[in-house]
Amino acid sequence: MFLVDRLILLAAVLLILGIASSKLSARMGLPVLVLFLVVGMLAGEEGIGGIVFDNYALAHGVGTVALALILFDGGLRTDLGQFRSVMAPALTLASVGVVLTAAIVAISAMAVLDLPWIAAFLLASIVSSTDAAAVFAVFRAKGMRVKERLAALLEVESGSNDPMAIFLTILCIQILMGVLEPGADVLTFFLRQAVLGGLIGWLVARGTAIVINRIGLDSAGLYPVLTSASGLLAFGAAAVAGGSGFLSVYVAGIVLGSRRLPFRQAVFMFHDGLAWLSQILMFTLLGLLSLPSRLVAASQPALLVAGVLVFLARPVAVAACMLPFRFSAREVAFVAWGGLKGSVPIILATYPLLRGLEGAAGLFDVVFFAVLVSAVTQGWTLPYAARVLGLQEGGVPHSGVTLEITSLQDVDGDIVEYPIMEGSRASGLRVRDLALPDGVVIAMIVRDKQVIPPRGSTKILPGDDVFVLLRPAVRALVEHVFGPVGEELWLPVTAVEFPLRGTTRLGEVEEFYGIHIDAPADQTLDQYLCARLGRPPAVGDRLASPPVTFTIRDLSDDRIETVGLEIQSPDI
């Protein structure tokens, strides 16, 4: 019993140290995984903690579950509209890009480290995936933002390239063990992993969405437990069937996250905390496995691998995958430099150890050291790279915190908090002068810890927190209204219709959404459309005025009450 008590105390101390290190990481601008790993190393056999830990099987098991939960959380938070808008370049990076990266690293390892081709490709496959979550942690710490489509691209790539790296690693291990032969077996293995993984993840998520919306659980706390179980079910069912469990759990997260769920924000917060717990446990445990003395011995090959990854393999692969989609050279350079290594390579490095492959311990040390080098060097310099390349956008992130209307489980609405910063479009304007979409209501303004009931004459000031009641479908426009001046409107899908009031002036449409219409600025949408039609308006009338198309949605005594504004988003 005393041993169990000590283990509980030790686990609590390590968790607290891990959480404290995340705060330090934010201030230093370092990816949090670096400090979590350092905490584990300090607690380890050669650190001040003196804990002897060499159970690779336990580390692999914990790491696999933790990685599945992290991927599920990443899928839940992947906006489906953003996913569709950058799907082609992101999936190209996540598939062709990973293979190209692995191939270049493998060729270099064969030439310089004198490794057999399959061992070199195993090493290259392990380090081929990226961790864009570390990129955004750096930007949040520095209060910086990059262009929306680059952020979406990195987010989607980070979640979807892990399954490919895992597939390549398992493939190499099975070839080394003689389970598979290069050739037709490889193609069959790949198709089985991809098809079964994606299909089972989709089926489990769709089934969960139907069940969760039709049953009434006694406690709101059971909903996140049910979604967690569905994620693990997707992983386990796919793995048992011979598919990719990691691809399955990520697909399940994307599909489930795109549905309106009861207590949606509570579910998301639960999985966010679960993902953080998984990261802390996983990285601390992996840090315990690593010995500083062994890392020193592995430093030379690790520096070679890291150098090839950062300066050759990643840039070549990114350029080959992104340039056909009309990204600029500066954007390509930023995405190439943003290829930080993270949790997946270290977890994958435990796979050869479990299989008892020759040289597996040295391989683990090389991967561990290479990940640290990549995370430290690129993590610290990435904000400067964004500034030098001219991709940093002004202001601070304006996406508000979503407050759930918990009294109604399936209401199609959210209350979103928007902090008003200097440079916000809404700053200094009265409520009645905001060209908000129809049906959007400012529910409350908090100023100097005081609640101010909003009226049409109420002026919005920097430092205010504005609480807005809206439907999720119009959130992109509302985000833009409260965002920084000069930021372009970026929509997550190719064409979306937003409702505006007929009393909205054309000048307000241009001011808030950057859409210029060749007509007097003081004309309302009602006046403009009636003049262009040359007859009494009717519901359903459409009028194209590039880059937008107007559709009359609601009338009252021949006066246009609501206009559908369809905006063509930029091509990717």
Distances (CA, A) of 285 to 15, 43, 53, 231: 11, 10, 9, 23
DSSP letter string, 183-202: THHHHHHHHHHHHHHHHHHH
Task: Please say if the pLDDT value at position 122 is more than 70.
Answer: yes
Residues 381 and 479 in one domain: no
Instruction: State the CATH number of the domain containing residue 127.
Output: 1.20.1530.20
Q: Are 404 and 388 within one domain?
A: no
Is the confidence at residue 396, as pLDDT, over 60? no
Query: Do 214 and 326 belong together in one domain?
Result: yes
Instruction: Say what the pLDDT of residue 349 is.
Output: 85
Any idea what the CATH number is for the domain that residue 548 is in? 3.30.465.10
Degrees (nearest 5) of the Cα angle 43, 274, 87? 115
**Rounded Cα gap, residues 452 and 68, in angstroms:** 44
Confidence of residue 556 (pLDDT cuts 50, 70, 90): confident
Task: Give the whole-angstrom CA distance, residue 321 versus residue 301.
Answer: 28
Contacts of 366 (CB under 8 A, 6+ apart): 123, 298, 301, 302, 305
pLDDT (average), residues 101-122: 89
**Would you state the structure tokens that stand for residue 189, as one six-digit string?**
């293995």
Q: Looking at the predicted structure, is the pLDDT value of residue 518 above 90?
A: no
Contacts for 78-84: CB closer than 8 Å, 24+ residues apart: 78/155, 78/156, 78/159, 78/253, 78/254, 78/257, 79/152, 79/492, 80/254, 80/257, 80/258, 81/491, 81/492, 81/493, 82/152, 82/155, 82/156, 82/492, 83/152, 83/156, 83/254, 84/492, 84/493
- Asked if residues 330 and 107 have their Cβ atoms less than 8 Å apart, the reply is no
Lowest-confidence segment of 234-238, 345-349, 491-495, 530-534 by average pLDDT = 491-495
pLDDT at 201 over 80: yes
Any idea which of 73-87, 130-144, 455-469 has the lowest mean pLDDT? 130-144
Q: What is the pLDDT of residues 43-65, one digit of tens each?
A: 777 777 777 777 777 877 887 88
pLDDT at 398 (0 to 100): 47
Domain boundary among 343, 367, 393: 393
Residue 87: the pLDDT is: 84
Residue 520 and residue 376 share a domain: no
Same domain, 368 and 429: no
Q: Cα separations (Å) of 348 from 254, 352, 473? A: 23, 8, 39
Phi and psi of 383, rounded to 5°? -60, -40
Single out the residue of 317, 364, 368 nearest to residue 342, CA to CA.
368
Backbone angles phi, psi at 260, to 5 degrees: -80, 115
pLDDT attached to residue 11: 72
- Res. 129: pLDDT tops 80: yes
Helix (H, G, I), strand (E, B) or coil at 241: helix
Alpha helices in 77-147 (DSSP H): 80-85, 87-92, 98-112, 117-126, 132-142
Helix (H, G, I), strand (E, B) or coil at 138: helix
State mean pLDDT over 220-241.
89
Cα 487 to Cα 498: distance, rounded to the nearest angstrom: 19
Q: Is it the case that residue 132 has pLDDT exceeding 90?
A: no
Q: Is residue 101 very low, low, confident or very high in pLDDT (cuts 50, 70, 90)?
A: very high
| pLDDT interval class at 83 (50, 70, 90) | confident
Residue 493: pLDDT band (50, 70, 90) is: very low
Whether 136 and 178 share a structural domain? yes
Domain match, 159 and 112 both: yes
Q: Inform me whether the pLDDT recorded for 6 exceeds 70.
A: no
**Does residue 316 surpass a pLDDT of 90?**
yes
Where residue 237 falls among pLDDT bands split at 50, 70, 90? very high
The SS3 assignment for 266 reads: helix
> What local confidence, expressed as pLDDT, does residue 3 receive?
56
User: CA of 86: how far to CAs of 81, 101, 153, 337, in Å?
Assistant: 9, 20, 6, 19
* Tokens (6 digits) for 261: 């769920």
- Rounded CA-CA distance 458/431 in Å is 6
Check if the beta carbon of residue 519 is closer than 8 Å to that of residue 525. no
What's the CATH code of the domain at 448? 3.30.70.1450
Q: Which pair of tokens denotes residue 144?
A: 């910086």
CA distances from 153 to 55, 79, 249 (A): 37, 11, 20
Position 562 pLDDT exceeds 70: yes
| Same domain membership, residue 442 and residue 372 | no
Do 185 and 209 belong to one domain? yes
Rounded CA gap, 272 and 76, in Å? 10
Rounded-to-integer distance, Cα 137 and Cα 194, Å = 30
Cis omega before residue 537 (within 30°)? Answer: no
Least confident of 88-92, 328-332, 439-443: 439-443
Give the pLDDT band (50/70/90) at residue 27: low
Strands 145-146 and 392-393 turn out to be: antiparallel
What is the total count of domains within the chain? 3
Q: pLDDT at residue 214 above 90?
A: no
Task: Note the pLDDT tens digit of each residue in 381-392.
Answer: 877 888 888 887
Residues 6+ apart with CB under 8 A from 185: none
Q: 419 or 486: whose pLDDT is higher?
A: 419
What is the share, in percent, of the chain residues with pLDDT greater than 90?
10
The pLDDT assigned to 51 comes to: 78
Task: Indicate the residue among 336, 362, 393 that finishes a domain.
Answer: 393
Environment class of 157 (CB within 10 Å of its CB; exposed 0-12, middle 13-18, buried 19+): buried
Residue 107 scores a pLDDT above 90: yes
Q: Please give the Cα distance from 245 to 162 (Å, whole number).
A: 11
Domain carrying residue 420:
395-484
The band of 510, judged by pLDDT with boundaries at 50, 70 and 90, is confident
pLDDT score of 317 = 94
The CA distances from residue 19 to 69, 219, 277, in Å, are 18, 29, 9
Q: How far apart are CA 452 and CA 235, in angstroms?
A: 48
Question: Residue length, the chain?
Answer: 572
Confidence of residue 26 (pLDDT cuts 50, 70, 90): low
pLDDT value of position 143:
54
Question: Which whole-number Å values give the CA distances from 328 to 6, 150, 499, in the listed order?
Answer: 56, 11, 33
Which of 435, 459, 484 is where one domain is finished? 484
pLDDT category of residue 495 using cuts at 50, 70 and 90: low
Same domain membership, residue 520 and residue 450: no
Q: For the CA atoms of 143, 147, 152, 157, what is the dihedral angle to 10 degrees?
A: -90
Reported confidence tier of residue 92, pLDDT bands at 50, 70, 90: very high
What integer pLDDT is reported at residue 321 of this predicted model?
92
Residue 490 gets the label, from left (phi > 0), alpha (psi -120 to 50) or beta, of beta
Average pLDDT over residues 247-268: 83
What's the CA gap between 399 and 238, in Å, rounded?
35
The band of 395, judged by pLDDT with boundaries at 50, 70 and 90, is very low
Within this chain, do residues 348 and 360 fall inside the same structural domain, yes or no?
yes
Q: What is the mean pLDDT of residues 534-554?
A: 86
Q: Give residue 405's pLDDT band: very low, low, confident or very high (50, 70, 90).
A: low
**Greater pLDDT, 346 or 540:** 540
Q: What mean pLDDT is predicted for residues 258-286?
A: 79
**pLDDT of 567 higher than 80:** no
Residue 494 pLDDT grade (very low, low, confident, very high; cuts 50, 70, 90) = very low
Mean pLDDT of 435-457: 85
Q: Mean pLDDT of all residues in the chain? A: 80
Rounded Cα–Cα distance for residues 203 and 199 (Å):
6
Is 544 found in the same domain as 474? no
pLDDT grade for 572, boundaries at 50, 70 and 90: very low
Most confident residue range from 77-81, 178-182, 393-397: 77-81
